[in-house]
Amino acid sequence: MVGSIYWTAVTYGAVTVMQVVGHKEGLDVMERADPLFLLIGLPTIPVMLILGKMIRWEDYVLRLWRKYSTKLQILNSIFPGIGCPVPRIPAEASPLADHVSATRILCGALVFPTIATIVGKLMFSSVNSNLQRTILGGIAFVAIKGAFKVYFKQQQYLRQAHRKILNFPEQEEP
């Protein structure tokens, strides 16, 4: 079982290298590399992608944004309601309460190089290097997705801060 997981990780790492760098260039790089380096380095690619996907950097950005948004008036003009005082502060959800399934993390992490390659080809077609184009595509994808996620979480926060709980009017039964 461990052997099959290891060789699957090695194969995924090799395919990712060829996809990110380019098919021919990837094969050249792997043929010139030390075999021991390949046997250790290639399986770390999916592991690092999964660990990177588990970092919740958007929460840190949102926390900093809420803390310093009153000092950054440009953000207030772009995203209204960020620097405004809220009637009440909603309870912060614990990181364990906002769970993301392991399947979603795994699939999202493993499909990331493909998405980075596609976004790189669409947005940075003028860049000649496949590796640079893919890195730029990955950065652009993560930044755009993160901005949407931060905006969505802030809107949820504001919605909870401004909600009012009303008493249910009792009606007499006939």
- pTM, 2 dp: 0.78
> Is the model's pLDDT at 84 over the cut of 80?
no
> Is the model's pLDDT at 170 over the cut of 70?
yes
Query: Are 49 and 110 a contacting pair, CB within 8 Å?
Result: yes
d(CA 30, CA 151): 41
d(CA 174, CA 162): 36
For the stretch 22-56, pLDDT in tens is 899 999 999 999 989 999 999 999 999 999 998 88
Highest mean predicted confidence (pLDDT) among 8-12, 58-62, 69-73, 95-99: 8-12
Q: What is the pLDDT of residue 96?
A: 53
Q: What is the pLDDT of residue 126?
A: 94
